[in-house]
Structure 1
Amino acid sequence: MIEIDGVAVELGENSILDGVTTAVEDGQFVGLVGPNGAGKTTLLRTINGVVELDRGEVRVGGDPVASLSSKETSRRVAVVPQDTTLSFDFPVEEVVAMGRHPYRSRFSGGGADSADGPSDRERVVAAMERTEVTAFADRSITAVSGGERQRVLLARALAQDTPALLLDEPTASLDINHQVRTLELVRELVDEDDKTVVAAIHDLNLAAHYCDELRLLSGGRIRASGDPETVLAEDHLEAAFDTRAVVSSHPVTGSTYVTALPERPVEREGRVHVVGGGGTVSRLLYVLSAAGYDVSVGALNEGDSDLETARSLGLDAVTEEPFAPVGDDARRAVESRVREADVTVLADVEVGVGNLANLRAARETDSVVVVEERSFAERNYAGSDAAALYRELCERGRVVGPDELLPAVEEAVDPPSERAGPATE
């Protein structure tokens, strides 16, 4: 669908794109990722034909974009811009109807009920229904929220009825609910309508979850290309973003998951014991180990992927036989490590009769951080005793999301009151 061959773009004396070559197949969702200023927006604009190339060629549907008229390009590629600000005071439905402009002759009308007939109107209505903006079709575009306005512009692009969509930071400035709704819809368009989508996405984890493939841009060049797991490798991220990161698999979605690490010395004071299992703590172990903490984990059954991760990192792990419940010896070993630790981290683990002893052992801690991604009710298979233990640990400690783990552990190991030192007269 889209072929980019040796493209170079210079603005003034600055090289924005430098010999970019890549292709996007029909029905693919490809994400452009990279630091600010990497050339993601410029690359999108070359596909749409609005940026003049200094070298190279862009082809859409087999034809060079430079040889197509503006209307013909707009029949092949629709754009959802990053800036959703619209200063004109048109109703939402009229904004969506603007997507039909490439199909109108210079003598046809300009509204949704134009002389082009009912097909225009039907496409506009269908696009509004698909993006769930029908309820405010008569409202002024300047009177809707940012998330709603993003959906209106997506509806306009759908009404344009093109095989390819270009999205420039479609989740920028949106809350997490609207981010997910927007990308779920885009994924749906790829899977059900066979749309080809290229999107610049700043959130690496959202890009990894929703895109088929990624292109990592840095310094105007593509540094890595392929599936998210391949592109979002730690060495690629360090080279492109000049920062350390831990890459693992998300315990709930299974997607590639990136956690940026602070630029701090590798070695630091503090011992952390982690309670988890079933693949829920591998990412946490990577993060805590890379941050320089002395980490222990368990009890984990032999064969658990978390145990494999712990061993690959050289961590102290309390183990139990495969599929066996946590026995007395393992429980005592966990209790000992919990008492020795400065903080205990309880992961988003499923709790049954077999590993309930881990929660009981965690009560030995003086400081606990609970990492919660799902409600405990969704993963509690040990009844009211487990619920009471979990509630007690939450009340005694701090409940955080996975991205808040490091600050919470740092504060638990080195509280602000202790960092300030003793009071002086």
Structure 2
Amino acid sequence: MSGPEHGAVDVGVGPRTEVDDPLVEVADLRVGFGGTTVLDGVDAAIDRGTFVGLVGPNGAGKTTLLRTLNGTLTPSSGAVTIDGERIHDLSSKAASRLVATVPQDTTVAFEFDVRTVVEMGRNPHRSRFGGWSEADTEAVARAFEWTDTRQFSDRGISTLSGGERQRVLLARALAQESPLLLLDEPTASLDINHQVRTLELVRELVARGKTAIAAIHDLNLAAQYCDELLLLSGGEVAAVGPPESVLTEDALGAAFDANAVVSRHPVTGSVYVTALPEGRRSDVGAESGRVHVVGGGGTAARYLYVLDAAGFEVSAGALNEGDTDAEAARSLALDLVTVDPFAGVDAAAREAVETRVAAADCVLVADVEVGTGNLPNLRAAANADSVVLVEERPFAERNYVGPEARRVYEELRARARVVDPSSVPAAVAAAVEESAPDGSTPSQSRPT
């Protein structure tokens, strides 16, 4: 896909190509070390103004591809063309006017202040005897502004946090004013807030006209932020295209040798990948165990998809008709307890929920908001023998009832496995297995 050209910079290296042509073209690229082939016949074309994520298992060749794109590594065969120039035919300075790289390691060898680090990005544009120009000053000022790092300019680089250093190195790369930005695992070792902030910033830069290629290990972050993904496996391109066409269960199984379920994130709507516990296959039958899910407002939709794909017999409710979770359960043909839109859980619905809770090997309670209408769901779950409780937000932020709901929740929490969303499949599998300590099939140990 082609993006806006208003943020493009004339790098002054040879003739420019037409703006409709891909910015990056990789043809039959082969790279090896000591007789070992790391990249084997890689072909790719990357349009201007796009954010492309390199994904794949460890050792697939993601970092090697990035280092070949910026000219650091020389291929044994094939070619890399950026903006019409064969990158390996250029001097280091000329290549750096086309490609800027943000490394995975954010440490800087010497104790420079932040302004000096960012100003280093202008080196490719300066001659040995040339002075500091107005263009240099403006480029550094833009880099500070776009990355919101001006407040660090007088501080030593080593005094910053990992996330702050990441932004400073990104500012240095932006000061190069190259059309292509490469990032090697930009979210590695960062907490979730800095991960999101970093990728939001890259996406903003792409909206300004940059082209970005990033190696990203987190498939869900890659799916949420990237326009396209390039999946590497065994040194070859296994798939390329929009996230929904690349992150398929078949492709992930072949590339990662993993059993994964692909669904849609209930909030962002992006492709969402969940790895299933070892031994849980989508073709196992309902005898694998029964799970009742308490959710609402889209908090449980992804778990319904994952647990159904893992082979559990899943029920859900009580949920209002039209609720996102109810629609997800209905699309999967799950056992569903519903009440009318905007109605509370009445006596009949509560009895239906209690029946399913009693029959379940495990009850999963999502990070749901609790009001008087759905408090009976929480009360029913509190009577379950085995509970997995998902906590993303403090209960105080989700409690619209008051002390009574807090009492029920605290009673439930004291008996539950409390997990974050990524741990749900493994926690449910463990809970179900423990429900049948005599080795019998889990569901056989429950009343029907």
Q: TM-score of the superposition, structure 1-length normalised? A: 0.87
Which secondary structure does the structure 2 equivalent of 1:331 belong to? helix
Distance 1:265 1:404 in 2: 14
Distance 1:24 1:174 in 2: 27
Pick aligned residue for 1:153 from 144, 165, 169: 169
Amino acid at match of 1:297: A
Correspondence 1:124 to 2:140: yes
Unaligned runs of 5+ in 2: 1-22, 439-448
Correspondence 1:7 to 2:38: no
CA RMSD of aligned residues (A): 2.9
Which secondary structure does the structure 2 equivalent of 1:57 belong to? strand
Pick aligned residue for 1:369 from 380, 388, 407: 388
Pick aligned residue for 1:340 from 337, 355, 359: 359
Instruction: Give the drift of 1:342.
Output: 2.9
Deviations 1:290-323 (A, max 9, x none): 4443322222455555445435545333244566
Instruction: Give the drift of 1:132.
Output: 3.6
Correspondence 1:275 to 2:291: no
Distance 1:229 1:372 in 2: 28
Distance 1:212 1:261 in 2: 26
For 1:209, the equivalent position in structure 2 comes to: 224
Which secondary structure does the structure 2 equivalent of 1:277 belong to? coil
Correspondence 1:83 to 2:102: no
Instruction: Give the drift of 1:284.
Output: 0.8
Which secondary structure does the structure 1 equivalent of 2:97 belong to? helix
For 1:422, the equivalent position in structure 2 comes to: none
Which secondary structure does the structure 2 equivalent of 1:349 belong to? coil
Which secondary structure does the structure 2 equivalent of 1:202 belong to? coil
Amino acid at match of 1:402: P
* Contact kept? 1:208, 1:255, Cα under 8 Å: yes
For 2:304, the equivalent position in structure 1 comes to: 285
Unaligned runs of 5+ in 1: 109-114, 420-425
Instruction: Give the drift of 1:196.
Output: 0.8
1:265–1:406 distance in 2 versus 1, CA, 3 Å: closer
Q: How does 1:245-284 map to 2 (within 5 A)?
A: 245-266=260-281, 270-284=289-303
* Contact kept? 1:264, 1:291, Cα under 8 Å: no
Distance 1:135 1:296 in 2: 53
Pick aligned residue for 1:226 from 213, 232, 241: 241
1:385–1:249 distance in 2 versus 1, CA, 3 Å: farther
Which secondary structure does the structure 2 equivalent of 1:21 belong to? strand
Pick aligned residue for 2:181 from 153, 165, 174: 165
For 1:190, the equivalent position in structure 2 comes to: 206
For 2:75, the equivalent position in structure 1 comes to: 53
Amino acid at match of 2:173: A
Amino acid at match of 1:126: R
Residue range with higher mean Cα deviation, 368-377 or 40-49: 368-377
Q: How does 1:13-162 map to 2 (within 5 A)?
A: 13-108=35-130, 115-162=131-178
Distance 2:357 2:384 in 1: 6
Q: TM-score of the superposition, structure 2-length normalised? A: 0.83
Amino acid at match of 2:295: G
Instruction: Give the drift of 1:396.
Output: 4.3
Residue range with higher mean Cα deviation, 352-361 or 182-191: 352-361
Distance 1:265 1:62 in 2: 49
Deviations 1:391-418 (A, max 9, x none): 54334434322112134334544559x6
Pick aligned residue for 1:200 from 215, 219, 238: 215
Residue range with higher mean Cα deviation, 178-187 or 405-414: 405-414
For 2:252, the equivalent position in structure 1 comes to: 237
Distance 1:402 1:62 in 2: 45
Residue range with higher mean Cα deviation, 299-308 or 47-56: 299-308
Distance 1:354 1:175 in 2: 36
Instruction: Give the drift of 1:383.
Output: 6.5
Residue range with higher mean Cα deviation, 256-265 or 348-357: 348-357
* Contact kept? 2:39, 2:235, Cα under 8 Å: yes
Instruction: Give the drift of 1:129.
Output: 4.1
Distance 1:128 1:301 in 2: 49
Distance 1:138 1:265 in 2: 54
* Contact kept? 1:248, 1:282, Cα under 8 Å: no
